Amino acid sequence: MKYEFNAEREFDIIAIGRACIDLNATEYNRPMEETMTFTKYVGGSPANIAIGSSKLGLKAGFIGKIPDDQHGRFIESYMRGVGIDTSNMVVDQEGRKAGLTFTEIKSPEECSILMYRDEVADLYLNSSEVHEEYIKKAKILLVSGTALAKSPSREAILKAVGLAKKNDVKVIFELDYRPYTWKSVEDTAVYYALVAEQSDVVIGTREEYDMLENKTNGQNKETVDYLFKHSPDLLVIKHGVDGSYAYTKLGEIFKGQAYKTKVLKTFGAGDSYASAFLYALLKGKEIENALKFGSASASIVVSKHSSSDAMPTVEEIEELIAVKA
Ligand SMILES: Nc1ncnc2c1ncn2[C@@H]1O[C@H](COP(=O)(O)OP(=O)(O)OP(=O)(O)O)[C@@H](O)[C@H]1O
Ligand SMILES: O=C(O)C[C@@H](O)[C@H](O)C(=O)CO
């Protein structure tokens, strides 16, 4: 099955949410306590997805709030440099800071992230900073779940989703669960369900769908039965290295295999997966093929040091798929 988008739009994808800083341990295979140097990259799941999309040749835009400091200027200039339209990135005027994510790479299997996200600029995006004229230029609005964690960002996202639906822009909801800024799992489930039920496509890990459904050990069939009673017509449920599934409202199920690689670190997999999966859908490829694109892109990024700068080109993805076929 192919997925249809409104062809007459200037932007393939506009992402909304956080654009932050990743500080990835330069000396890896050790605990963070022993890490003395970090390499700086742009980070934040929706920013990574916009970067991945742009590197694949899609026309991408970004809506989000960045600090009025050196980090904010680095984020904006890096994103503009890879071809993203940053005209709707708002510079905070109240001294708020960029979110910082330190990554720990103890071994390829044992990776974790440590987030500093108190009073971060991205969660202060407000609804008056989300503009219908911009959103209606897109085929896809990519929404990050973390942006729902607090007001006023929460209302900004709800406004963006409403405008997208009004203007025939597909709403893609990346669950992107990060516990740090949420008050409670109940709140998470309330806002996740609210947006998931209005979205066209939902992408998340099995564990993230459990957050949405406020349960443990949820089964894909229950998730699919629940969400297909609402707006979504395509659901992607990821199971880490065990691969991923796509379910359509027509009842089809597709399985995507993960491509084995020499893993450097595991984070960044989800964002690279999302950008390449959406690229393939936008290019009119079959869902089965889109799963291959997502998995191949993730396999490339987990073998490299960053989540954003390491995003692959179409040629790299196609070459990997061909080699593994
Ligand atoms: N160790 C791995 N080796 C190769 N591919 C992987 C590996 N881990 C994940 N992937 C690929 O990436 C996809 C997404 O991974 P995962 O389910 O871990 O997403 P995620 O938890 O959202 O990622 P992230 O860690 O970036 O938040 C998987 O479906 C798989 O194709
Ligand atoms: O999403 C974040 O805020 C952190 C990311 O940039 C980081 O690289 C990561 O964990 C990606 O999965």
In tens, the pLDDT along 265-307 reads 888 999 999 999 999 999 999 999 999 999 999 999 999 999 9
**Ligand 2 centroid to residue 103 C-alpha, Å:** 9
Average pLDDT, the chain: 96
In the chain the beta strands, taken as DSSP E runs, fall at 11-16, 20-25, 38-43, 60-66, 89-91, 100-105, 111-116, 138-144, 170-174, 201-205, 234-238, 244-248, 253-256
- Copy the structure tokens of residue 81: 């440099």
- Residue 293: predicted pLDDT: 98
Compute the chain's Rg from CA coordinates: 18
Average pLDDT value for residue range 250-263: 95
Nearest CA residue ID for atom 2, ligand 2: 44
Pairing of strands 20-25, 100-105: parallel
Average pLDDT value for residue range 112-138: 97
Average pLDDT value for residue range 211-220: 97
- Copy the structure tokens of residue 259: 């491509």
**Ligand 1 centroid to residue 295 C-alpha, Å:** 8
Measured CA distances, 63 to 66, 132, 211 (Å) = 10, 12, 25
Residues in Cβ contact with 229 at an 8 Å cutoff, skipping those fewer than 6 apart = none
In tens, the pLDDT along 38-93 reads 999 999 999 999 999 999 999 999 999 999 999 999 999 999 999 999 999 999 99
**pLDDT grade, residue 138 (50/70/90)?**
very high
Average pLDDT value for residue range 178-185: 93
Asked if 44 and 142 count as a contact pair (C-beta separation under 8 A), the reply is no
- Closest ligand to C-alpha of residue 114 is 2
- Closest ligand to C-alpha of residue 303 is 1
- Residue 224: predicted pLDDT: 98
- CA–CA separation, 81 vs 58, rounded Å? 14
- Residue 43: predicted pLDDT: 98
- Residue 28: predicted pLDDT: 84
Kindly report the length of the chain. 325
Of 51, 206, 207, 241, best ligand 1 pocket probe by most atoms within 8 Å of the beta carbon: 241
| Torsion angle defined by CA atoms of residues 56, 59, 60 and 61, in that order, rounded to the nearest 10 degrees | 160
What percentage of the chain has pLDDT greater than the value 70? 100
Beta bridge partners of 104: 112
Nearest CA residue ID for atom 29, ligand 1: 243
- Closest ligand to C-alpha of residue 113 is 2
**Ligand 2 centroid to residue 301 C-alpha, Å:** 12
Atom number in ligand 1 closest to CA 204 = 22
Q: How far apart are the first and last CA of the chain?
A: 21
- Copy the structure tokens of residue 22: 């990743």
ipTM summary value: 0.96
Q: Is the pLDDT of residue 319 over 90?
A: yes
Q: Is the pLDDT of residue 100 over 80?
A: yes
Average pLDDT value for residue range 189-216: 98
**pLDDT grade, residue 118 (50/70/90)?**
very high
Going by C-alpha positions, the residue among 125, 252, 230 that lies closest to residue 171 is 230
User: Which CATH code fits 11-324?
Assistant: 3.40.1190.20
**Ligand 1 centroid to residue 269 C-alpha, Å:** 4
In tens, the pLDDT along 139-165 reads 999 999 999 999 999 999 999 999 999
Atom number in ligand 2 closest to CA 176 = 1
Judge if the beta carbon of residue 270 lies within 6 A of ligand 2.
Answer: yes
